[in-house]
Amino acid sequence: MSAPGETTATWSVSGMTCEHCVRAVTEELTALPGVQRVSVALVPGGASAVTVTASAPLADDDVRAAVDEAGYDLVTG
Task: Give residue 1's pLDDT.
Answer: 52
Summarised one tens digit per residue, pLDDT across range 21-72 is: 999 999 999 999 999 999 999 999 899 999 999 999 999 999 999 999 999 9
Task: Give residue 58's pLDDT.
Answer: 96
Q: Are 15 and 73 in contact (CB under 8 A)?
A: yes
pLDDT at 77 over 70: no
Q: Is 15 helix (H, G, I), strand (E, B) or coil?
A: coil
Task: Give residue 75's pLDDT.
Answer: 93
Domains of the chain: 7-75 (3.30.70.100)
4 vs 60, residue with greater confidence = 60
Q: Are 27 and 70 in contact (CB under 8 A)?
A: yes
Task: Give residue 5's pLDDT.
Answer: 78
Among candidate residues 7, 40, 11, the one with its CA nearest the CA of residue 26: 40
